[in-house]
Structure 1
Amino acid sequence: MLIQTSDEPQGVDLFLPATYDLAWTGAVLALVVALGVAVVLTVRAATRTPEPSLHGLATEDPVRRAARRHATTVSVAAVTAALLVGAVVAQAAATSVGGLAEGVLVGLSPAVVGLTFLGAHAVGERTWPRQRTAVRAATLRPRTVADVAPRGLRRLTWSLGALVGLLAAVGALTAGDDGRSVTRVLGDTTSTASPYPGTFYGVWLALAAVLLVAGAEGVLRLVARRPAVAHVEETWDVGLRRASAHRVLRGVQLALGLTAAGMLGTGANAAARVGYPGAVVLVVVAVGLALTAVVVAVRPAADPDAWADDRAGAPVMAGAGRAAR
């Protein structure tokens, strides 16, 4: 019986990059894209001219301006912390960590960056300025995550987390006994390729996905329960919360999307190297998934003024008014 290993490309592998190069290039591209997105968003925020609002110009209202400034500071701090941690992880993968641990670290890098992003947002929400006026306003009905989180973006985040878990389960069922390779037997020829997202990698990646989704839900609850902005309409305050929730979710879905794309691309690469037909198509799917996550991440949140204007004429739900205390 002829046994082939995956140390050198064979057959269809000649048309694919080496697994290490593919993973490393993906990590570097993710970092470069994140830096580019940060620059674009910063320039856009600095040069944007606000639209007039039916509720008044927010740029002329010191209360709204202060609230916007705090929300922007939290977002910028979270992105900065994530980029710094991403740079540290990339440096560690390149110089300090070797062997099988290097592959685990590369696979976990989007999740590590995403958890740092969430941690910075959590600190920002916990330090949100409280009302210092003699008369404080509060809603009669407690806000929930469903009130402040964009529904579609929240569902996308959960779906990507579930996709990572599904890919980890499929990898565990199809991997070899070592949990990090895939084998195909065709006649008298046995071909084995690695790395492959079996249990050796998949358990860590699935755990990271659970932590990301749970962490996102926790931060969203902080957004929903943070102190209300004084002397502004409730709809504007909700609009500002939805903008914060949007920023949290788009960062988490990016980390989950890149994790899922990396698992799919690495697994498809290994499968193609042992000769499974159609595996190359999954590499294209993985690239499309990563690009989609990036596109969603750069989509701006709805402006609180626009959100308030759109709902200015909407009927108020029973018990959803404000009470002074």
Structure 2
Amino acid sequence: MPGLTCPGRAGIVVAMPVQTLAQSDGVDLFVPAAYDLAWSAVVLLLVVGAVVAVVLVVRALLRTPPDPVSLHDLADADPVRRSARRHAATVAGGAAGLAGLVGIVGSQAVATVDGLAEGVLVGLLPALVALAFLAAHAVGERTWPSPRTAVRSATLRHRTVDDVAPRRLRRLTWALATLVVVLAAVGAATAGDDGRSVTRVAEASTSTASPYPGAFYGVWLALGAMTVLAASEGVLRLVARRPAVPHVGTRWDVALRRLSAHRVLRGVQLALGLTAAGTLGTGASAAARVGYPGAVVLVAVAALLALAAIAVVVQPAPDPDEWAGTTADEAARAVA
């Protein structure tokens, strides 16, 4: 390899190995970085593809076989219902695609950030992905096609989020957001003066470990969780107030709204669950390294929490035709 010599201050000659460039303007210096970026994107796409494949297989195993003539088949014969389903599926697919893209770009950004900002960005990555996911859903709900019939009908009862959002999933979302805030508060109360490490004094020895979700990280994590929760409630309001699907009946229209709300909450709870699991796991790992008893158990709890959040996403969403069919008798009794 050729060398470069230059005189030093005291007459010392310094030899520095250099790399010969194919072009004089040095554009090839950026080739390795571009190669690493492309390779990392390919790896991430493979990982995402593997996860999607596992989810599809699990959903196929959990799904019950349809009847020879099911409500879903009858609904597909209706062009209005088919169009509404297509729009809802397009919104969900676009939101998932945008979330995956933001996740890939965010992962690459983490690799280029140095210092303490890297830890903050890692902690906020699930929230950023969730906000992109919710933004796509918000655009989809705002662009929901309005009825174009000559005679329009509307329910006299004002729909609210409680009418369209699954209660258990919504409560789980609120609980996970609250858990993130509680973990951030506990971390801030138990961290050191720097807000990012934990210290344990035992007899004559002192042990310190980091990173630890103290105030330095916890404030951002709590703000991210509350922002995601507020944004999800806003999107759920859009779902409840969007134009009704004409000529399908009130029950089916509400059932389609429940499907959209279920999809929104599944993505949000996944982001909040991963944030809570990451916060708990990071704090417990640092506490275990300094010798706090029982901290290893919390690491296992964090792993179970992350798996539970993923398991909720795998659960299939309620089908509008089946839900409307099973609640038909109850709605008729309520009207009577």
Q: Which amino acid aligns with 1:64?
A: R
Larger radius of gyration: 2
Of the three residues 280, 284, 301, the one matched with 1:268 is: 284
Q: What is aligned with 1:84?
A: 101
Of the three residues 209, 233, 236, the one matched with 2:225 is: 209
Point out where structure 1 has 5 or more consecutive residues left out of the alignment.
1-28
- Give the Cα separation in 1 of the matches to 2:291 and 2:66: 56
- Give the Cα separation in 2 of the matches to 1:31 and 1:153: 28
1:231 and 2:247 equivalent? yes
Q: Is the 8 A contact 1:53 1:309 kept in 2?
A: no
Q: Which amino acid aligns with 1:72?
A: A
* Cα drift, residue 233 of structure 1: 1.3
Q: What is aligned with 1:124?
A: 140
TM-score by structure 2 length? 0.81
Change in CA separation of 1:160 and 1:151 when aligned onto 2, cut-off 3 Å? same
SS in 1 for 2:329: coil
Q: What is aligned with 2:325?
A: 309
- Give the Cα separation in 2 of the matches to 1:272 and 1:240: 47
Identity of aligned residues (%): 69
**1:189-240 deviation digits (Å, cap 9, x = unpaired):** 1111000000000000000000111011000000000000010011111111
Q: Which amino acid aligns with 1:224?
A: A
Of the three residues 62, 73, 79, the one matched with 2:90 is: 73
Paired residues in the alignment total 290
- Give the Cα separation in 2 of the matches to 1:196 and 1:208: 17
Q: Which amino acid aligns with 1:73?
A: T
* Cα drift, residue 37 of structure 1: 4.8
Of the three residues 155, 158, 161, the one matched with 1:145 is: 161
Change in CA separation of 1:185 and 1:168 when aligned onto 2, cut-off 3 Å? same
Change in CA separation of 1:287 and 1:237 when aligned onto 2, cut-off 3 Å? same
Q: How does 1:1-325 map to 2 (within 5 A)?
A: 35-39=49-53, 52-53=69-70, 57-94=74-111, 96-316=112-332
- Give the Cα separation in 1 of the matches to 2:74 and 2:236: 27
**1:125-149 deviation digits (Å, cap 9, x = unpaired):** 0000000001112111011000000
- Give the Cα separation in 2 of the matches to 1:30 and 1:292: 22
SS in 2 for 1:183: strand
Change in CA separation of 1:116 and 1:288 when aligned onto 2, cut-off 3 Å? same
> Relative contact order (C-alpha < 8 Å, sep 6+): which is higher?
1
- Give the Cα separation in 2 of the matches to 1:211 and 1:74: 21
Q: Is the 8 A contact 2:138 2:238 kept in 1?
A: yes
SS in 2 for 1:184: strand
Change in CA separation of 1:92 and 1:124 when aligned onto 2, cut-off 3 Å? same
Q: Is the 8 A contact 1:53 1:305 kept in 2?
A: no
* Cα drift, residue 300 of structure 1: 1.1
* Cα drift, residue 38 of structure 1: 4.0
Give me the CA root mean square deviation.
2.5
Q: Is the 8 A contact 1:240 1:304 kept in 2?
A: yes
- Give the Cα separation in 1 of the matches to 2:45 and 2:226: 22
Change in CA separation of 1:240 and 1:287 when aligned onto 2, cut-off 3 Å? same
Q: Which amino acid aligns with 1:196?
A: Y
